[in-house]
A and B are shown apart, each in its own frame.
Chain A
Amino acid sequence: MSMALELVGRATAPDTDSPLSIRGLTVSYGEKPAVFSVDVSFRPGQMTAIVGPNGAGKSTLLKAALGIIRPLSGQITSYGRPLHEGRARIAYVPQRASVDWDFPARVLDVVMMGLTRELGLLGRVRASHRARATACLDRVGMAGFAHRQIGQLSGGQQQRVFLARALAQEADLYLLDEPFAGVDAATEKAIIAVLHGLRAEGKTVIAVHHDLATVAEYFDRVFLINTTAIAEGPVAEVFTPSHLQTAYGGRLALAQMGGAAAG
């Protein structure tokens, strides 16, 4: 009995390296779990794609990991500590369609939202803060847009502004929800360049990703999910036809996989 308890204790000991470690996560809307009993530890300094069919719980997993959705059960740790202690090191890029872009704000105002924690309630916005926000805009190729109203942006530009806002947080872990959904080719190129730049700085990037054809090209690791965790590991080991078959079932047309699985 005492041994069993010890084992349980060891099994839930936090993974101190992992920027994001999830244990036994179940999230349910109503009485059908969208994510069921998922265990996964994301590796530091790597780019990981969360991949799975529509409705597989990819975005739900991300939102539950951030505390946006309250899970039914499960433990989230970041660098071995509870989520709320690790917030300052995490930056989140939501789906751009989740907000109303007719909101009265300029591009720079949105990027400055990334400094909310740092500024606190009444902290004065200094020239150095603005310079940092502008530098982040420059990094995503939007330097000339700082004073544009956000309602005038194209979809790709909106996505870049969201990324710039996350960059302003100067975090260690970047969580992105479908960053390439509905963006133009130039934006996709620009975003991937920024993400690879982050990796080169030793940061961790985790992104919900839809396009199987680009997984091998863009990412180091893959986390396959379909309500339950299917597999997590380097692209070459996990992104295989048999694993994809498990994740996608009959929904996966062979053509959709393309040459990606071979790469």
Chain B
Amino acid sequence: MLWDALTLQLGYNATLVTLGAMMLGVGAGATGTYLYLGKRALVSDAISHATLPGVVLGFMVMVALGGEGRFLPGLMLGAALSAGLGLLAVTGLTTRTRLHEDAAIGAVLSVFFGFGVVLLTVVQVMDAGRQAGLETFLLGATAGMLRDEALTIAAGGAVVLALVRLLHRPMILVAFDPEYAVGQGMRLARVDLAMMGLALAITVTGLKVVGLVLIVALLIIPPVAARFWSERAGHVVMIAGAIGGVAGYLGAAVSATAPDLPTGPLIVLAAFALFVLSLLMAPGRGVLAAALRHLRFQRRVHLRQGLLALAAGQPVYEPLTLRLMRRAGLARADGVATDTGRAMAARARLDERRWQILRSDPAFEAAAARYDGLTPLDEVLTGDQIAALDRGLGPEGAV
């Protein structure tokens, strides 16, 4: 069953829904990258919670007009309007008062969401029959989703992706250095509006699949995970899109295997799994790689310090240093240097003395900047340069 779901063999509708969720994930991951890099990620949380009153009001209006209350584009329009209002409220509070953005987000998010929940309760009392399903907008559900709805969601994701491609340059520049962007003649308010507008579009598109409580996860987790893998903004956008897409695909497919599995939470869990994988395994910024690098560096420092101590005829006290030197065959268990240890110690001492001379000679200013106590001099200077340096080297012990 799970395998069938993952290989898209649960029927035409389930396949469409899974592909739609994937498209949504790609769009959300890419869009979220600009928010994350511009340190504006939480604005999307305010946007998504502010959709609830719009969804319910949209439903009420469509029912009042005698239509089908659950018509998805109508609900999405309502969601977009109230989310836009919430966004305006956050922007207004931040620019016109001395409130910081986090406080404005907290206020707007809770008020809009509270109002939405009240409306939802009212609808439930009013007409118990037809409202069934509105609460699925909270956590997302794909069970029983229609073909047109899946196509709408996929199209929404694709449109957002195209806009992201178009606006990539200004959005990255503003995220990195807004002052310089203005100096280049960019209208900050417009770029900001575009960025937030894209987040809003993705939120509204994803309401049905992921739900408004969790859509923020699909915007934030993929870029945060992607950041572990790359040092280039453009690549982070693409990797975040890929991670979001995989999460959307996996979550929607798994939720299709049983009738009551909520789609949103499954997508978020899939994204989280990819995040943990990135956190641990990514080269460079990953936790394991960083720990490994730290251990290697620590070993180098201890060995060098130990060798310099040996060369100066001082005892090595630190147990870790001793243990590392013993393991490297430089010292015996009682701390006495082996032949190799003595030879290496002499070399370390010579290296250090050469460095001392180099650092006091203004002619070597550039090379001296590379002194860190660890780098062997022959990685910095050529043999000839070292030979020239050695002429300044006094008799042994004259340092």
Contact = CB atoms under 8 A, between A and B. Distances in A.
B183 interface: yes
B179 A113 contact: no
A92 interface: yes
Given A103-B233, A106-B232, A68 B365 contact: no
Chain B CB within 10 Å — which of A68, A88, A90 has the most? A68
Say what secondary structure dominates the interface of chain A: mixed
B131 interface: no
Given A99-B176, A105-B231, A113-B177, A87 B37 contact: no
Contacts of A117: 184-185
A105 B177 contact: no
A175 B365 CA distance: 30
A119 interface: yes
A173 to B, nearest CB: 11
Contacts, number: 75
A255 interface: no
B169 interface: yes
A98 interface: yes
A109 B180 contact: no
B37 A104 contact: yes
A121 B232 contact: no
B230 interface: yes
A87 B231 contact: no
A94 B170 contact: no
A87 B177 contact: no
A94 B184 contact: no
Contact of B183 (A92, A104, A119, A149): A92
Nearest to A91: B183
Chain B CB within 10 Å — which of A100, A119, A165 has the most? A100
Nearest 8 CB-CB pairs, A to B? Answer: A92-B183, A87-B185, A149-B231, A68-B182, A94-B179, A99-B177, A66-B183, A104-B233
B173 interface: yes
A186 B365 contact: yes
A67 B180 CA distance: 11
Given A104-B231, A104-B232, 4 more contacts: A106-B232, A113-B177, A113-B180, A116-B186
Interface string A105-116: 110011001001
Interface string A179-205: 000000010000000000000000000
